[in-house]
Structures are given as C-alpha cells and as structure tokens.
Amino acid sequence: MSIVAALSTAFAAEEPSVFVTITRALGSTPRETGAVMLVTPSALAGTIGGGRLEFDAIERARAMLVSGETEAAMDVPLGPAIGQCCGGRVELSLRLADEVLLSELKTLEAREEAARPLVLIFGAGHTGRALAAALAPLPLRVRLVDSRPETLAGLPEAVETVAAALPEAEVAAAPAGTAFVVMTHAHSLDFLIAAAALARGDAAYVGLIGSATKRERFRRYLAEDGRDADIARLTLPIGGAALHDKRPAVIAALTAAELAVCLLSDQQEKLIDRFAGRNGRCHSAEVRSTG
C-alpha cells in the first residue's frame, strides 16, 4: 500500500498517524534522504531502511501518538550502539499527519507517477508476460503490447496493456526517454519494432531478445538501410551475460534488473526532492544466447 493510500485509510478510520522522513543521510545508510514511512498505532506503510533504526523510529512515533506531540526529530548514528554496522548517520523528522500533509502527498505522488519512465514491452509471450510482472512493483510505468488480445489477460493491475493490430505504431507514440523491450512472436516484427525505436534517437533503452546470430542478422538488416552504426545502441541479448539460462522467469528477472539500473540509477538526487525522471540512454554490447 502506498503512503497516500495508507494515510487515507487511517483518516477514514479516524486513526492518528505519524509521518517519518529521512531529512539527511550521511555516509553508508540503508535508505536515502527523502525516504518515508507512515506509522499508526497498529500498522506501517513504507520503510526508512529496516533494522534497529526503523524499530526505534516506530517506537518514537507511537510514543508521540500516546503523548499528543505533533513534531519530533531524531539523529541516529548507525553504529554498534544500536546494533547496526552501516557506519553512517541518519536524521529523521517525525510529524503528526493531518489533511494538509495528505494533500501535499497526493500532489507529490501524482507528479512522481507522471514522471515515471515508461517501459514498452512488445510481445506478450511467456517472457514478455514474466517481464511485465517483474517490473510491475517498480517505480516505472509498464505497458505490454501485443496484436493478440487473448495474451493480455491476467497481468498485475499496474501493467497497462495494448492490443494493437500494428504494434510498431506504438513506438512513434511513446514519449522521449522510453525504454523499448522487443520480444514478439516473429523475428521480422522484432526487427521492424527495434529499428523504429533506434531511429527515434531519444530512447532510454532499446533491447531485443535473442542470440549472437540474431544480433548479426539484425545488424545486416540495419546495414541495408545505411544504419549499421545503430547496432551499438542496441542491447541484444537482454539481461546481460551473467547466466546462460533461457527460462522466461530468469530472463525476466535479469532484464528487470538491467532496466532498473538504466532507468533508476540517476534518480537518487531527484528522490531527495521526492520527484523522479529519466531522459538518457543505456545499452550493452554483451552477447548471450537466449533463444
């Protein structure tokens, strides 16, 4: 449950709650500045990193609920005194939640959701569906595209689905900074979609499932159009070369990690402001056979 949903539920139940924020994180810490947690007398939402740090913050927040305090602060060295060996230091702000805070959080949540990078997955076969499910919990917009409507049922609620007679048309409609992952039922369609994504020049990531042989075939396909240099911006195979495992769930897990590094690694400073965005490029020239 999101912080906004949890706070809305607490208000509906007339249950008081405390909003805990990491206002400063120095050195090695389990979470970054801007990480938040909501504490009620009986429940939690979000996390500031777990362990003794979080336990102590929960205890302090619930003490506030008993005493009626509206604000508090904590300065916590993450050392042996609290049983953590991170070595950093965390400053926390604790605030009794009210309707003003809920309104602020709704605005921030809407901004963050609107700014989430889009991942367009083409192909709702076994691996495409597994990848969509793996990405669904991450702070990304996930959209699965296929020409066969029957393949798009039974996915997590967070996954958008598009039944498109011409899946390649979805490439042109995507915003700048989109990540394109191509794994349709036909190599010819794969090549068409991947070539269109590379031609945009503003994709954050263009990945194509396949093998070294497929990469070479696609390079020749691009060369016929005078675009052989585009192959350097293509990730094929997807998921890196850490494992030679062709099971859909394994490929999906590796590719989800690859996309997270590509799309989220540059957001740490923006998370401090509780606002995220992406508009860059990631690619890998590593080759691994995935079928």
Q: Apex CA 40: angle with CA 37 and CA 46, to 5°? A: 20
% of the chain at pLDDT higher than 70: 87
Q: What is the pLDDT of residue 268?
A: 45
The count of structural domains within the chain is 2
In the predicted model, is pLDDT for residue 280 greater than 60?
Answer: no
Q: What is the pLDDT of residue 24?
A: 93
Q: What is the pLDDT of residue 82?
A: 62
In the predicted model, is pLDDT for residue 93 greater than 70?
Answer: yes
CATH number at residue 190: 3.40.50.720
Per-residue model confidence as pLDDT tens digits over 204-237: 999 999 888 898 898 898 888 888 788 889 998 8
Nearest Cα neighbor of 53 from 17, 29, 26, 24 is: 29
pLDDT bin (cut points 50, 70, 90) of residue 57 is very high
Q: What is the pLDDT of residue 85?
A: 63
pLDDT bin (cut points 50, 70, 90) of residue 282 is low
255, 207 contact by CB (below 8 A): yes
Nearest Cα neighbor of 152 from 179, 136, 132 is: 132
Domain match, 30 and 97 both: yes
In the predicted model, is pLDDT for residue 272 greater than 60?
Answer: no
In the predicted model, is pLDDT for residue 159 greater than 90?
Answer: yes
The last residue of one of the domains, among 90, 112, 134, is 112
Domain match, 70 and 175 both: no
| Residue 288, in any domain of the structure | no
The amino acid sitting at 256 is A
For tokens 């709702």, name the residue.
124
Average of pLDDT values for 266-285?
44
Question: What residues make up the domain containing 175?
Answer: 116-272
| Residue 285, in any domain of the structure | no
| Residue 215, in any domain of the structure | yes
pLDDT bin (cut points 50, 70, 90) of residue 274 is very low
In the predicted model, is pLDDT for residue 151 greater than 80?
Answer: yes
| Residue 133, in any domain of the structure | yes
% of the chain at pLDDT higher than 90: 58
Report the distance separating Cα 234 and Cα 216, nearest Å. 12
